[in-house]
Amino acid sequence: MARSLGELAAQFGCELIGDPAIAVSRVATLVSAGVGDLSFFANTAYRNQLRETRAAAVVLRPQDAKDCSVSALLAADPYHVYALIAAELHPAASINAGIHSSAVIHPTASVSACAEVSANVTVEENAIVADAVYIGPGVVVGARCSVGEHSRVLANATLVQDVTIGDRCVIHPGAVIGSDGFGNARTEEGWVKVPQLGGVRIGNDVEVGANTTIDRGALDDTILEDGVRLDNQIQIGHNVKVGMHTAMAACAAVSGSTTIGRRCMFGGQVGIAGHVTICDDVSIAGATMISKDIDEPGYYMGSFPGEKGSSWKRKVARFRRLDDLINRVAVLEKKVEENSE
């Protein structure tokens, strides 16, 4: 859908440098953009690309306009404005309301006439699919699950049971929500399974990444508040609570009964122990392991950057002999004390 730069400037509150009649119909990178393409500039490492772009227009900060030889839409946060314009030019696929003939819907389930249910879907007893929902092929909507308006549950995802999903959510392919938590009582004869009886409650505007898993609560529910963003292959244990607008990068794992605050940001492969509380506004670097409560906002780390193997092995050997070094320093302290007497 083509839009003129003048229209976009007015709609998104940007100052326009250039001809308001120029039309753009899609977004592209600075390097690949051409006639009719809109691009953006936010990462200063790419300033040379800005200087040479052949885009029709670029969204950028006012102070960067001097390096731009094409039309520009000025914005304090160009990535944000770019995201909004990209969604305008490339709207999500619209719904083809109806239930595919190969889908299997339990008679007690309630599926809106305005929802799209794709091929090979299974909807189980007492499940609810609201208006304007998209259910992708191969999805299973288990017993007593509910999917809110305008949400999208994509191919081969599974809502196991007792999962409530709010409005405008996206559940990516292969995600599993509502699986049993890992509850086992140890006995002399082995493990006894502790029945997992809770559900999962997910707020509005949440995204759950591909092949991510979210366990149902043992008794009470596992909770994701509004606006949470989970990348792919994340694991959320039973009875975890994730606060509003918290985002986690791929492969992060949160153990059971842990509470995560609002607006937190976790890097990839972060691991959080169980029964821990993380306060609001905590950022954690990739590959960091957190084993205790964090009650002060800020940036946390615990991972070592890799380096040449020979150099790393030498460091690890030194680390393993720290005790020896400490003893040598203690001996020195004693000798120096004696010498100076």
**Taking the complex as a whole, how short is the minimal distance between the CB of residue 211 and a copy of itself, in angstroms?**
5
Helix (H, G, I), strand (E, B) or coil at 45: helix
Strand ordering across the sheet containing 259-260? 110-111, 128-129, 146-147, 163-165, 200-202, 222-224, 241-242, 259-260, 277-278
Cα angle for residues 65, 68, 74 (degrees, 5° grid): 40
**Taking the complex as a whole, how short is the minimal distance between the CB of residue 56 and a copy of itself, in angstroms?**
15
Closest CA to 216 of 159, 291, 139, 136: 159
CA distance 264 to 214: 18
- Which residue, 20 or 334, has its beta carbon nearer to a copy of itself? 334
- Which residue, 115 or 284, has its beta carbon nearer to a copy of itself? 284
Query: Exposed/middle/buried for 21, CB within 10 Å: 0-12, 13-18, 19+?
Result: exposed
Active site includes 106? Answer: no
Closest CA to 242 of 210, 213, 209, 201: 201
Cβ count near 149 (within 10 Å):
17
Strands 213-215, 235-236: parallel, antiparallel or unpaired by DSSP?
parallel
**Taking the complex as a whole, how short is the minimal distance between the CB of residue 233 and a copy of itself, in angstroms?**
5
- Which residue, 28 or 133, has its beta carbon nearer to a copy of itself? 28
- Which residue, 18 or 182, has its beta carbon nearer to a copy of itself? 182
**Taking the complex as a whole, how short is the minimal distance between the CB of residue 95 and a copy of itself, in angstroms?**
15
Structure-token match 């549950």, residue found: 153
**Taking the complex as a whole, how short is the minimal distance between the CB of residue 21 and a copy of itself, in angstroms?**
25
- Which residue, 19 or 184, has its beta carbon nearer to a copy of itself? 184
Catalytic residue among 90, 150, 172, 238: 238
Cite the active site residues.
238
